[in-house]
Chains A and B, each alone.
Chain A
Amino acid sequence: MMQLIALEANNRVRAERPVVVVVTRKKCAAAERAVRSFATAAAALAIDAIAMDADDADNAELLDDLGITCVPECLLFARGVVLERCAGARHDDDARAILGAALRRPRDRR
């Protein structure tokens, strides 16, 4: 998953195409799991996924504005609007269900 700083991320999230932003931290197992799950889910739903480092000073203002309190935290954007956010997921299917519901795409069970 591509690691971006706030300036680049700000541009990406305004796009028409939905994008998942995963707030991560180095050497954090929970963050690594979230990156894997959301990257897999994003690929399955044909949307983009990027990561942002919670400890990078360049990201602090954007993460403050978004009220990020946890690592990992995952946000789904489309056209600059946050459609969903969560503190990670249990597993790949959970991540896919979270994103799918926010995008209002039918889930497998329906």
Chain B
Amino acid sequence: MAAHNAPYGAAHTAAAPSESADASTIPAAPASMVGLAALYDDPAFKVLYARVHDARQALPDWDNLAHVTAFAGAAELVGELLIRPRGAQERRALAHLLWQLLPTAMRARSFLPLPDDLGRRAEDGFALVPGDVPRVAASWVAFLGDPELLPKALAHQPLVLVPRSQAKALHQKAPAVLVQAERLEGDLLHARALGAAAEPVRPTSLESVAGWLLSAGPDARGLDLRSEDDRALLLVWAQLLRERHVDGRSAFAWLQDGNAPASVKARVVDACLDAAVAAVGTFTLDPQACRFSLSSREGEGGWAEQAAAALRTVALPDGPLVREVLPRARQRGSVAELVWADALLVETGYAAGRLSALGAARAFARLATSVLAPLGVLPLSGLRDGRGAVLLQRFVEEAPGEPRLAAPRLVSFGEAVKNEPLADAWRDGRGLMLPDPKAGPRHELAAMPAWLALFLEGIDDGYRSRPPQPAAREATP
């Protein structure tokens, strides 16, 4: 990704920001937007950029106080840049620079500005143009229309969810149990519990298994392409697909190939999923998750108090840099909890870069519903704990006519981005509060080809309804 965020990406080189590295990587996209050039040309930005670069080179990873002090110093410079009104893309570029100075442990999750060639398109409302989004060939979706899909997939003894009434649940809060399917007899699935005992569970009706497998969640919805945020998200996902290669060819190109062999399809869908997680997790920041949690113990020299004092003195043109929150449980040694990111990322939404962990998960679920579900990756969102995890259940076409069911996974966006097996998450007590499938809509597998065609057609309609594009403008000298 760094290559597409050249001015910073470069963040790790001494090179000054340069427009020359901003060549569009989207062939069909108009390279007409001035983008961040005005910010990059600002002498104050160049000073800030050099300062961040130098600090990153010099600061030892263990020295939290030095990081916070450097952060506060850089934030003062950001304040000077914010005297002029700045757009959302400029603000997220500034937040990215500050993010790089956070103490090491607080940088567990990446935060990047939008790739330059997409960031420029903010001025155009991220309008979609032909060639932006892959025209997924019908052959990628066709296997989901097989009426025998579920029985065939269950024949391979996958891990599936069944209601907790069918077996002794390990977790009080989980309304379902993860079991190993054994065989299908008529309309009943026989299965075993996981773990050393591996006891048989009560046979479960196919309808009940399908209910858990196909549940989309009580608030399920796909991308709304009338929304600027959802268009930006789709564009970033498509961009990332161009950068992920399978057997020497981009995932973007593979999806448009109606003759793609079954042997590569699973890996291409892996790339699509990986790109969807990265599109949300790498390009958004959660102010709550990246706040300063400062605490100190005796003998640490009061560094946390000094750090808190340094941060509290920083003022931006429209108010202080940080605002205080309190830990819910009174913690010994807690000095301060300071939220800073929403002072820079003042707008909420994907394009502006500010999403809570829950907002990020909802964005991921919308993207997954629109572009991953037709490839066999079915999202279930709306877990009752409100932490925003999304359950993924996936049909894989490894060979023609031989669908398999992959083990369920859980994707979450908090202080770190996680895409892990559901069994591992449950072991740690996460992702347990699944919504009852009876309460929400289901993924209609047989309708997926039509749904995808409708989605792509909707994009085409968007192209046709757009006014003619203006001629490309010259970049600001």
Question: Which of B43-51, B305-313, B342-350 lies at the interface with chain A?
Answer: B342-350
Total of A-B residue pairs, C-beta within 8 Å? 95
Cross-chain contact A98 with B348 (CB below 8 angstroms): yes
Cross-chain contact A101 with B348 (CB below 8 angstroms): yes
B218 at the binding interface (Cβ < 8 Å): yes
| Pick from A30, A65, A83, A109: contact of B323, CB under 8 Å | A30
Number of interface residues of B (CB under 8 A): 39
Rounded to whole Å, the gap between the CB of A64 and the closest CB of chain B is 9
Chain A: number of interface residues, binned into ranges: 35 or more
Question: Which residues of chain B are within 8 angstroms of A84 by Cβ–Cβ distance?
Answer: 356, 358-359
Question: Which residues of chain A are within 8 angstroms of B343 by Cβ–Cβ distance?
Answer: 90
| Pick from B173, B288, B433: contact of A87, CB under 8 Å | B288
Cross-chain contact A25 with B218 (CB below 8 angstroms): no
B399 at the binding interface (Cβ < 8 Å): no
Cross-chain contact B348 with A72 (CB below 8 angstroms): no
A66 with B339, Cβ < 8 A, contacts A87-B325, A90-B319, A101-B348 known: no
Cross-chain contact A88 with B323 (CB below 8 angstroms): yes
Cross-chain contact A90 with B288 (CB below 8 angstroms): no
Q: How far is the CA of A82 from the CA of B383 in the complex (A)?
A: 8
A47 at the binding interface (Cβ < 8 Å): no
Interface SS of chain B: loop
Question: Which of B25-33, B155-163, B384-392, B445-453 lies at the interface with chain A?
Answer: B384-392
Nearest-neighbor residue (CB-CB) of A110 within chain B: B228
Nearest-neighbor residue (CB-CB) of A96 within chain B: B348
Cross-chain contact A70 with B337 (CB below 8 angstroms): yes
Cross-chain contact A80 with B328 (CB below 8 angstroms): no
Question: Which residues of chain A are within 8 angstroms of B348 by Cβ–Cβ distance?
Answer: 94, 97-98, 101
Cross-chain contact B218 with A81 (CB below 8 angstroms): yes
Cross-chain contact B339 with A23 (CB below 8 angstroms): no
A69 at the binding interface (Cβ < 8 Å): yes
From 225 to 280 in chain B, residues with beta carbon under 8 angstroms from any chain A beta carbon are: 227-229
Cross-chain contact A86 with B287 (CB below 8 angstroms): yes
From 302 to 356 in chain B, residues with beta carbon under 8 angstroms from any chain A beta carbon are: 319, 323-329, 337, 339, 342-343, 346-349, 356
A positions within 8 Å CB-CB of B: 23, 25, 28, 30-31, 54, 63, 65-73, 75, 78-91, 94, 97-98, 101-102, 104, 109-110
Task: Give 22 A-B contacts (CB < 8 Å), ordered by A residue.
Answer: A54-B328, A65-B385, A67-B385, A70-B337, A71-B325, A73-B325, A81-B218, A82-B388, A84-B358, A85-B356, A85-B358, A86-B287, A87-B291, A88-B325, A89-B342, A90-B323, A90-B343, A94-B342, A94-B348, A101-B348, A101-B349, A101-B359
B positions within 8 Å CB-CB of A: 173, 218-219, 224, 227-229, 287-288, 291, 319, 323-329, 337, 339, 342-343, 346-349, 356-359, 362, 382, 384-388, 433, 435
